[in-house]
């Protein structure tokens, strides 16, 4: 009834990621952790709550006891610093 389609689907489901993909993912994770560690604790905590944990700026403001605008400024500052550091790292690796 299913013929070759069932075999093709079974093969797709059983395929593990290629070793190079696993290595690249591990390297990217380590690089992100290194860059996050460079942020101040306030910027890092705010960034992680927003970007990773999915809290809103208003919820983070309540958690941290600061104004919502302060939270938004911290998120923007963290993003800007992370992007600058990432670009700098990529330039160094390219040379």
Token pair listed for 18: 């290629």
pLDDT for position 22: 74
pLDDT at 91 over 60: yes
pLDDT for position 12: 53
Question: Per-domain residue ranges for the chain?
Answer: 19-94
pLDDT 10s digits, 18-47: 777 777 788 888 888 999 999 999 999 999
- Cβ neighbours around 66 below 10 Å, total: 15
pLDDT at 95 over 60: yes
- CATH architecture for segment(s) 19-94: Orthogonal Bundle (1.10)
pLDDT 10s digits, 37-74: 999 999 999 999 999 999 999 999 999 999 999 999 99
């Amino acid at each position: 009834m299913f013929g070759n389609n069932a075999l093709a689907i079974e093969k797709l489901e059983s395929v593990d990621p290629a070793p190079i993909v696993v290595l690249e993912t591990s390297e990217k994770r380590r690089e992100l952790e290194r860059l996050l560690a460079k942020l101040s604790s306030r910027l890092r905590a705010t960034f992680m709550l927003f970007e990773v944990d999915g809290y809103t700026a208003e919820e983070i403001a309540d958690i941290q006891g600061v104004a919502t605008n302060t939270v938004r400024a911290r998120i923007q500052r963290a993003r800007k610093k992370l992007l600058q550091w990432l670009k700098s790292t990529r330039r160094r690796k390219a040379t």
